[in-house]
Structure 1
Amino acid sequence: MKALRMLFSNKKKPAKKFHILADEEEEVGQLISLIHSSKTIKQLQQIHAQIILHNHFSNSRIVTQLISSYSFKPHFITHALSIFRHFPNPNPYIFNSLIRALADNSFYMTSISYFLLMLKSSSNITPNHLTFPFVLKSTAALQEPSLGMQIHTNVLKLGLLSDPLVLLHLLDMYAKVGLLDYACQLFDETSQWGDGTRSALLWNVLINGYCKVGKWSKAMELFQVMPEKYSSTWNTLINGLFKAGEIDRAMDLWHHSAEIKGDVVSWTTMINGFSLNGHHEKAISMFDQMLEQGVKPNDQTIVCVLLACAKAGALHTGTRVHDYILTNGFTLKKGITAALVDMYAKCGSIENASRVFDMAEEKDLRTWSVMIWGCAINGYLDKALHCFNTMMATGIKPDGVVFLAIISACLHAGNVDQGLRFFDKMKHDYSIEPTMKHYAVIVDLYGRAGRLNQALRFIKSMSIDPDFVIWGALFSACGAHKNVQMAEYASEKLLALEPKHPGGYVFLSNVYAGAGRWQDVERVRTKMKNKGVAKDPGWSYIEIHGQVTSFVAGDHFHDRSDEIHLKLDEITKNAREFGYMPETEWVLHNIEEEEKEESLGSHSEKLALAFALISGNDLKVIRIVKNLKICVDCHSLMKHASKMTKKDIVVRDIKRFHHFKNGSCSCQDYW
């Protein structure tokens, strides 16, 4: 403890006062203990400096621990690499610590390269049972089956297949790269060892592998013959079924698994599974049932239910979960903090998101990312820029996700030039290669501003082939600015990529409708019908008094459907007196005007609005989440409704937030 106090007291004290222990081995142990106890990167660097000053840098035990410790500090993997390169004769332990550090920080290709360097080392260093798990992890992440088979050969030559951890990662690698036949063969071979028993982890890996590729019947078959069904295996199968979209089968399995009903991991699996498949209200309901059953959630449960609240726009429930966190001894770790910020931001409460963010003691890159994203989708460019600049000042380097967020903030504010500057900064100053998402947001940036020719030139200059989303961004802009010729060109590209995607047909028919070319509208709609292409249904979520309700376009299934439609008629009638006129321009011309208005009136966000208004006058803010982009007519009605009802209306569509207040919208009609 004396060494620790002297090391972290006054940094201006001379190095000679560092406590030197008489016994060198004890001193090495003390230094390793100090490395383990370091809480911040600054402390670790101070220890590192003392190690160099006192000539302990040649000690492989100390260097191994240094490399491992740097790998646990985000964005400091370069320090671990530098230490390795300056160590004269690295042994297997040092190689292993670096390979693990690289794999754990997702530097998979680099991890493999150091494994190859290990094999080629002039010191004849042999990989061991601690090397292969992380090499196999990297191989699986890189989806390199041929490399995996070569590593399997090395494992056999070294006689390491009997090691449980090596075997597990080898089986996992084969499952993740899609070589399930190899995985199954390896699994079967293990039954010949000893008494024929195999660990639950091996069963879980294989069952999960079959679920991932949609072979849930094979997964169920394995599960049935498993001699002892552990709770982890039930959870693996349920999780696999959810990921395969087999919701009913997952629920059926859950109901037949009484022995895991008290297991927090099982409840968390169900909550996450429902949310993963878009059933956010069921995910929230599962959380409530869990508490009623007396099962205490863990950090992962909290993160999963907050994610469901964020996706459903369930602010009331999200706030209730926040209160539960504060009153039940949870610490605001980075994962929970990021989930809370994300939930508040995606529910349109940027003030609460900022409050949680400001209170966080430790902010990692993800925490900054969700805050910048929250500012972006809510239309707060200045706040997003302030967050970005503050993050940079703290020494955290932005990644591609952060740049996507800040460029999106520029997009929603219509600041084209600033968005382009960030795009160039990302490429040239940080050497971050743009992904398809970055290219799409730049096309959208140009397109929404009406700079369609520049958008098209940008697409043609891309270093990768544009996908459906890229052409879709241009196509949407063409519709908004009524450039029929370019819309037709973009439509050809869209339908060539995905002939049965409804978006290409719907957008093109809307563009033709906007230009009054009704014969072309009917031609596109007929072609769409003949090809069996169905339009994606629009749906909306709304939370009333903690209860989440969903509506689909044309919904008549709600218990209070008659009341909802009567209220919507009343809203529309009153809005007309304030100047509202239904935007029927893009509805098919060969139906009567009254039918066109009825078609628009069935949009899910309008039904959600009417439901909120018949559910009580105590709602100060009405919050709606929609899966599609809000249409011009719904946007217009929401503005009028906010003025008539004197209530704030917040709509989150697939692109951004619209905060309606007293007859105007935060987007300034730019969306």
Structure 2
Amino acid sequence: MASQPIANSRLSKPKLSPPSPSPSPSPSPWLAKTECHLISIIHSSKSTFQLKQVHGRVLRLRLPLTARLAAQLVSAACSPLLRAVPYALALFRHSPPSPPVFDALVRALANCSLFSAALSHFALITRSGLRPSRLAFPFALKSAAALPSPRHAACLHAAAAKSGLDLDLFVRTSIVDMYVKLGSAACALMVFDDTPGWHKGSSVLLWNVSINGCCLSGDLEVARRLFESMPTRSVASWNSLIQGYMRQGDAKSAVELFHRMVEKNVVSWTTMVAGFLRLDEYEQGLGFFEKMLDSGVQPNEFTISSALSACARMGALERGIRIHDFALKSGFRENGVIGTALVDMYSKCGKIELAAQVFDVMDRRDLLTWTSMILGWAIHGHWAKALQCFEEMKCECIEPDEAVFLAMLMACSHSGKVERGLQIFDSMRFEYKIEPTIKHYTCMVDLFGRAGRLNDAMSLMKAIPMEPDFVLWGAFFNACRANKNVELAEVAAEKLLKFRPKHHGTFIFLSNMYSGAGRWDDAEKVRTVMKDSGIERLPGWSYIEVEGGGHHFVAGDRSHPRSKEIYGKLEELATRAKEHGYEPDTDWVLHNIEGEDKEESLGCHSEKLALALGLLSTPSGADIRIVKNLRVCGDCHLLMKFASKLCNKVIILRDIKRFHHFKDGRCSCGDYW
């Protein structure tokens, strides 16, 4: 909507007498009243055009552009609504130099994230012979921290001390905060310790900033000591220390502190939910979210997005849907961080169509939202839709970044589109001038490896400008395993063990390869080394939601209350599948044991147990959704294809690599994973 002129509104016929042609040195009551009237209109301006009309009115009435008026015009021009920085600088250049105008400009430039310009104009204050005020220093200190610039920080601290303003509580707190943001907790604590006692006793904020600095530096012992010494604590004091414990992985201390709080706000609860999410304790995080709702505290968008992210990691679709419904009923829109979290949650819970629906109704989609949608299509094997989404994003003038290209390369890798992947990789380097990271090269090695082009993968690894890391060699090792190339796998395994001598995955996969090749002695040697070195394999687990609750299984699990029914159902399924041509793929069993024992070993894999419970508990027509923390084995993949046809079920399995949608005896991956 076009801005409406205001020249004919409140300014057109001021209910004031005309100004005296020669005003007296001291402002008259009329002039003071006029100035207040103009300032109120300055702050009600909705556009730069309206602001310039106010300025023009000042000139037309031949009013003096006082320091107060100029400062207000500069502040309004750089407000979040207008962000008219060039106009603010022009005002500054044509105004008499004065501390209020300088203060307003430094503050405005810092708030617009123009930190270098803010520091330059702060330096100009001293060169002009003026003394910086207590209102300019905090924003100059903020700019030095944001650049970051330790040299400027030291100079500003010295200037504040020289002028005596470092004893001003507002300035002193800003100095401590600056050192915290620069990662210099020792300097921050020195300033805090040198603060006079009467200052410390009157400023909770100074204590909070110091505690936060100790938490960020990892010195929780000092942070706790400061916390316990505080004369008065605010909710923010508790929140800072709780977040520090969560950041260090000490959830026990965080929970103990949280329960000691008399008053908890939304930040307190969000800190707990997000903290458990960061620690991969998703069930705990969701538990705190549900307790928060029971306590009557209204969550904010970050609390909801954290809870949705926990559902995404767990594959807890039903709980994610309940949180989505709650968000809509509470007035939150499917936009911003909540919209992006919903796209991610539905994608990772196997409902890619619902993710696309949320994505389509969003009217504000940033780069992270587009990345989540493209990645969603990628992990579900829809490379064409991922490509279409990528092209639509570019049409909306959103520049792709490293993460978007990584998602696109994953889409090509999961679908075997080698040439298309090469085109995208070259486009990233030559068209968008984005240097590939080790993750991009790892994805390219995976792309070649899945397609059986091991020589191309090896050539790329030799050509990359950085040293291959553990993950890159791991991708090559998996490619060798998939293509049953034992010789190259041994080379890759040797490299992997140099990086992580006790990594269980390398030993497990190498033992598996030797077993598959019939080299039982070599397989046994690998297992002996594992045992002698005390290396334990990462336990595989599978998760399924049925009847409103989540159920975890590990291989051979008999702890479930319905264990007898589960194993009976699994045996029944295997028998029916064999009648229709299923033959257990015993190559996935590591040990040199008899065929019948191998089948028994295969029959208790965690994803099969979850499948059996799903067949027992899900109503007719309902999909079965399973999440596995490792890569699905070939035999389980084969049995699920048979189960989808024999039981007329859609089975959606998410493993560590991608989604598998089983329907009518076929998998969406086309047996390419």
TM over 0.5: yes
- The corresponding residue for 2:382 is 380
Instruction: Output the CA distance in 2 between the equivalents of 1:388 and 1:52.
Output: 46
**1:135 aligned onto 2:144:** yes
Instruction: Output the CA distance in 2 between the equivalents of 1:249 and 1:311.
Output: 24
SS, match of residue 629 in structure 1: coil
- The corresponding residue for 1:241 is 245
Q: 1:189 aligns with which of 185, 194, 198?
A: 194
Contact 1:21 1:27 in 2 (8 A): no
Q: 2:308 aligns with which of 302, 306, 309?
A: 306
Instruction: Output the CA distance in 2 between the equivalents of 1:53 and 1:412.
Output: 63
Instruction: Output the CA distance in 1 between the equivalents of 2:86 and 2:561.
Output: 63
- Over residues 505-524 of structure 1, what are the superposed CA-to-partner deviations in whole Å (9 max), with x where a residue is unaligned? 22322333333222222222
Moved more, 417-426 or 505-514: 505-514
Equivalent position amino acid for 1:4 in 2: S
Equivalent position amino acid for 2:201 in 1: T
Moved more, 637-646 or 575-584: 575-584
- Residue 477 of structure 1: how far off its partner (Å): 0.8
* TM-score normalised over the length of structure 2: 0.82
Contact 1:651 1:659 in 2 (8 A): yes
Moved more, 341-350 or 592-601: 592-601
Q: Rg larger in 1 or in 2?
A: 2
Q: 2:626 aligns with which of 610, 618, 624?
A: 624
- The corresponding residue for 1:226 is 230
- The corresponding residue for 2:3 is 4
SS, match of residue 297 in structure 2: coil
Contact 2:511 2:590 in 1 (8 A): no
Equivalent position amino acid for 1:435 in 2: T
Contact 1:379 1:409 in 2 (8 A): yes
SS, match of residue 260 in structure 1: coil
- Residue 194 of structure 1: how far off its partner (Å): 2.4
Instruction: Output the CA distance in 1 between the equivalents of 2:521 and 2:214.
Output: 49
Equivalent position amino acid for 2:530 in 1: M
Contact 1:555 1:602 in 2 (8 A): yes
- Residue 311 of structure 1: how far off its partner (Å): 1.3
Moved more, 513-522 or 636-645: 513-522
Instruction: Output the CA distance in 2 between the equivalents of 1:80 and 1:527.
Output: 67
Equivalent position amino acid for 1:128 in 2: F
Q: 1:209 to 1:535 in 2, by over 3 A?
A: farther
SS, match of residue 383 in structure 1: helix
Q: 1:251 aligns with which of 237, 251, 255?
A: 255
- Over residues 142-200 of structure 1, what are the superposed CA-to-partner deviations in whole Å (9 max), with x where a residue is unaligned? xx87876666556545655445565445445545665444333333223x242532644
- The corresponding residue for 2:416 is 414
Instruction: Output the CA distance in 2 between the equivalents of 1:419 and 1:81.
Output: 44
- Residue 381 of structure 1: how far off its partner (Å): 1.5
Contact 2:138 2:175 in 1 (8 A): no
- The corresponding residue for 1:527 is 529
Equivalent position amino acid for 2:268 in 1: S
Instruction: Output the CA distance in 2 between the equivalents of 1:644 and 1:64.
Output: 71
- Residue 136 of structure 1: how far off its partner (Å): 0.9
Alignment of structure 1 residues 484-523 onto 2, 5 Å: 484-523=486-525
SS, match of residue 194 in structure 1: helix
**1:295 aligned onto 2:304:** no
Instruction: Output the CA distance in 1 between the equivalents of 2:445 and 2:52.
Output: 49
Q: 1:390 aligns with which of 380, 389, 392?
A: 392
Q: 1:182 to 1:60 in 2, by over 3 A?
A: closer
Contact 1:312 1:548 in 2 (8 A): no
- Over residues 177-229 of structure 1, what are the superposed CA-to-partner deviations in whole Å (9 max), with x where a residue is unaligned? 65444333333223x24253264444444444544565544444433333333
Contact 1:208 1:219 in 2 (8 A): yes
SS, match of residue 581 in structure 2: coil
- Over residues 291-320 of structure 1, what are the superposed CA-to-partner deviations in whole Å (9 max), with x where a residue is unaligned? 233332222221111111111112222122
Contact 1:316 1:545 in 2 (8 A): no
Equivalent position amino acid for 1:387 in 2: C
Alignment of structure 1 residues 656-671 onto 2, 5 Å: 656-671=658-673
- Residue 617 of structure 1: how far off its partner (Å): 2.6
- Residue 575 of structure 1: how far off its partner (Å): 2.6
- Structure 2: 5+ residue runs without aligned partners? 15-33, 60-69, 95-100
Contact 1:171 1:205 in 2 (8 A): yes
Moved more, 363-372 or 202-211: 202-211
- Over residues 268-304 of structure 1, what are the superposed CA-to-partner deviations in whole Å (9 max), with x where a residue is unaligned? 2222222222222332233333323333222222111
Instruction: Output the CA distance in 2 between the equivalents of 1:371 and 1:183.
Output: 42
Contact 1:270 1:283 in 2 (8 A): yes
Alignment of structure 1 residues 569-584 onto 2, 5 Å: 569-584=571-586
- The corresponding residue for 1:603 is 605
Q: 2:561 aligns with which of 559, 562, 566?
A: 559
- The corresponding residue for 1:547 is 549
Equivalent position amino acid for 2:398 in 1: I
SS, match of residue 630 in structure 1: coil
- The corresponding residue for 2:439 is 437
- Structure 1: 5+ residue runs without aligned partners? 8-15, 39-43, 73-78, 104-110
Contact 1:214 1:244 in 2 (8 A): yes
Contact 1:174 1:180 in 2 (8 A): yes
- The corresponding residue for 1:319 is 321
- Residue 232 of structure 1: how far off its partner (Å): 2.1
Q: 1:69 to 1:555 in 2, by over 3 A?
A: same
* TM-score normalised over the length of structure 1: 0.82
Q: 1:254 to 1:583 in 2, by over 3 A?
A: farther
Identity %: 45
- The corresponding residue for 2:282 is 280
- Residue 668 of structure 1: how far off its partner (Å): 0.8
Q: 2:616 aligns with which of 614, 617, 623?
A: 614
Q: 1:188 to 1:578 in 2, by over 3 A?
A: farther
Instruction: Output the CA distance in 2 between the equivalents of 1:646 and 1:93.
Output: 70
Instruction: Output the CA distance in 2 between the equivalents of 1:49 and 1:300.
Output: 38
SS, match of residue 426 in structure 2: helix
Instruction: Output the CA distance in 1 between the equivalents of 2:163 and 2:503.
Output: 52
SS, match of residue 330 in structure 1: coil
Equivalent position amino acid for 1:319 in 2: I
